[in-house]
């Protein structure tokens, strides 16, 4: 039986449609050649999970995410339908842990086997759980670094502001330094003659000091000779003798002060003073009488005896000793 061209085209179209159907399901992760069990998981957020993402058990791929549905009547939670191989028995309490797929990105679901007795049936709901992925860990670890970096940036800003202020101060210092240099140059230019004269005077002073040193050397040598002469005089013995003489003078003065000896009696005894006072008084009277009546004591008589005056004259107050 010979098929017509139209029949061949129809068979080929049917075959292509069948292949397209199976290929589409294979690409979605559905196993079209073996039976699987479907389980449900409800998440509040799937963090980018898509259909055909793998379902792993201890790192082994045992299924695929078949479908994801939005449950608007349950606060927009998400129903994830898992397609797990028939040979995998899930006990009660098994959890579907949503986690990162690794460094390459994407999401996977890890099956965490429960410990309750009895196996789950197809269509049962697994416990929903999430695992902190690499991005969350990196974000958690990077947050302190970001905080420190922010503080570092602020400190650097303060340092830069300080450098700017320091730069302004340095500019002022350099400007003042330039002004000071200019002033010094002007001062040196104005006082160049004075500086030259000062240098000349210093040179003359140095020459004078050299001459003075030459003149001082003989004087110093003579001073050394004088010191040797003083040492030869035995000043110690001289001082000792002077101390002895001073001690003796102190003893004599003590004796005089106590009224001992002739000198002490002259100073302390009033008898001599009184006798001298009376003698001076008598002598004063005698001299007064002699002045007033000299004929009493010098008698030259030619014609007869004359009046010799009184034998005693009053005391001359002009020479009275108190």
DSSP string, 159-228: HHHHHHHHHHHHHHHHHHHHHHHHHHHHHHHHTHHHHHHHHHHHHHHHHHHHHHHHHHHHHHHHHHHHHH
Check if the beta carbon of residue 78 is closer than 8 Å to that of residue 46.
Answer: yes
Check if the beta carbon of residue 94 is closer than 8 Å to that of residue 127.
Answer: yes
Q: Return left, alpha or beta for 38; rule: phi > 0 is left, psi -120 to 50 is alpha, else beta.
A: beta
pTM above the 0.85 mark?
A: no
**Contacts with 306 (C-beta within 8 Å, 6 or more apart), sequence order:** 295
**Secondary structure (3-state) at 91:** strand
Q: Is residue 59 in some structural domain? A: yes
Going by the DSSP 8-state scheme, the letter that residue 118 receives in this structure is E
Q: What are phi and psi of 4, to 5 degrees?
A: -80, 170
DSSP string, 248-260: HHHHHHHHHHHT-
CA 88/CA 62 separation, integer angstroms? 8
Q: Which of 114, 131, 148 is the last residue of a domain?
A: 131
Q: By CB neighbour count within 10 A (0-12 exposed, 13-18 middle, 19+ buried), where does 82 fall?
A: buried
The structure tokens listed for 133 are 């992925």
Q: Is residue 93 in some structural domain? A: yes
Q: Which of 131, 153, 172 is the last residue of a domain?
A: 131
Q: Is residue 290 in some structural domain? A: yes
Q: What parts of the chain have a pLDDT lower than 70?
A: 1-2, 25, 28-34, 102-105, 133-140, 142, 227, 229-235, 263-264, 266, 268, 299-322
Q: Is residue 276 in some structural domain? A: yes
- Per the structure, the complete domain to which residue 124 belongs is given by 34-131
Check if the beta carbon of residue 288 is closer than 8 Å to that of residue 313.
Answer: yes
Distances (CA, A) of 36 to 39, 78, 81, 304: 10, 22, 12, 206
- pLDDT (0 to 100) of residue 212: 84
**Contacts with 113 (C-beta within 8 Å, 6 or more apart), sequence order:** 57, 90, 91, 94
Closest by Cα among 180, 181, 183 to 191: 183
Q: Is residue 116 in some structural domain? A: yes
Residues facing residue 128 across a β-bridge: 96
Q: Which of 95, 115, 131 is the last residue of a domain?
A: 131
Check if the beta carbon of residue 32 is closer than 8 Å to that of residue 25.
Answer: yes
Q: Is residue 109 in some structural domain? A: yes
Residues facing residue 265 across a β-bridge: none
Q: Is residue 22 in some structural domain? A: no
Residues facing residue 107 across a β-bridge: 100
Closest by Cα among 126, 128, 127 to 46: 128
- pLDDT (0 to 100) of residue 321: 45
Q: Which residues of 178-206 are buried (b: 16+ CB within 10 A; e: fewer)?
A: eeeeeeeeeeeeeeeeeeeeeeeeeeeee
CA 2/CA 221 separation, integer angstroms? 157
3-state helix, strand, coil split of the chain in percent (to 5) is: 55, 15, 25
Q: How many domains does the chain have?
A: 2
- pLDDT (0 to 100) of residue 103: 61
The structure tokens listed for 306 are 């004359």
Q: Is residue 148 in some structural domain? A: no
- pLDDT (0 to 100) of residue 104: 61
CA 216/CA 210 separation, integer angstroms? 10
- Predicted confidence (pLDDT) per residue in 119-161, tens digit: 888 889 999 998 876 666 666 676 777 777 778 788 888 888 8
Q: Return left, alpha or beta for 197; rule: phi > 0 is left, psi -120 to 50 is alpha, else beta.
A: alpha
Q: What angle do CA 30, 43, 121 make, to 5 degrees?
A: 55
- pLDDT (0 to 100) of residue 73: 93
């Amino acid at each position: 039986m010979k098929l017509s061209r139209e029949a061949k085209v129809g068979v080929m179209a049917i075959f292509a449609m069948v292949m397209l159907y199976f290929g589409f399901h294979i690409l979605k992760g559905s196993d079209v050649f073996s039976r699987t069990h479907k389980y449900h998981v409800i998440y509040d957020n799937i963090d980018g999970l898509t259909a055909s993402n793998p379902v792993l058990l201890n790192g082994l791929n045992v299924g695929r995410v078949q479908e994801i549905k939005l449950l608007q009547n349950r606060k927009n939670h998400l129903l994830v339908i898992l397609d797990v191989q028939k040979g995998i028995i899930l006990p009660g309490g098994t959890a579907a842990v949503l986690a990162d797929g690794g460094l390459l990105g994407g999401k996977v679901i890890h099956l965490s086997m429960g410990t309750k007795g009895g196996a789950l049936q197809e269509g049962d709901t697994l416990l929903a759980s999430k695992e902190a992925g690499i991005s969350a860990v990196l974000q958690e670890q990077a947050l302190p670094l970001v905080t420190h970096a922010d503080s570092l940036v602020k400190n650097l800003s303060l340092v830069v502001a300080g450098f700017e202020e320091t730069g302004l101060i340095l500019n002022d210092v350099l400007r003042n330094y330039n002004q000071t240099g200019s002033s010094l140059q002007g001062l040196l230019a104005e006082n160049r003659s004075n500086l030259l004269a000062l240098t000349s005077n210093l040179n003359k002073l140095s020459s004078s000091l050299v001459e003075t040193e030459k003149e001082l050397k003989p004087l110093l040598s003579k001073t050394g000779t004088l010191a040797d002469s003083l040492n030869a005089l035995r000043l110690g013995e001289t001082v000792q003798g002077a101390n002895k003489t001073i001690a003796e003078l102190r003893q004599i003065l003590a004796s005089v002060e106590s009224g001992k000896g002739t000198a002490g009696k002259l100073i302390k005894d009033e008898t001599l003073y009184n006798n001298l006072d009376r003698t001076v008084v008598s002598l004063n009277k005698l001299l007064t009488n002699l002045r007033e009546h000299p004929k009493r004591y010098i008698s030259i008589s030619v014609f007869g005896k004359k009046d010799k005056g009184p034998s005693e004259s009053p005391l001359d107050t002009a020479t009275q000793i108190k």
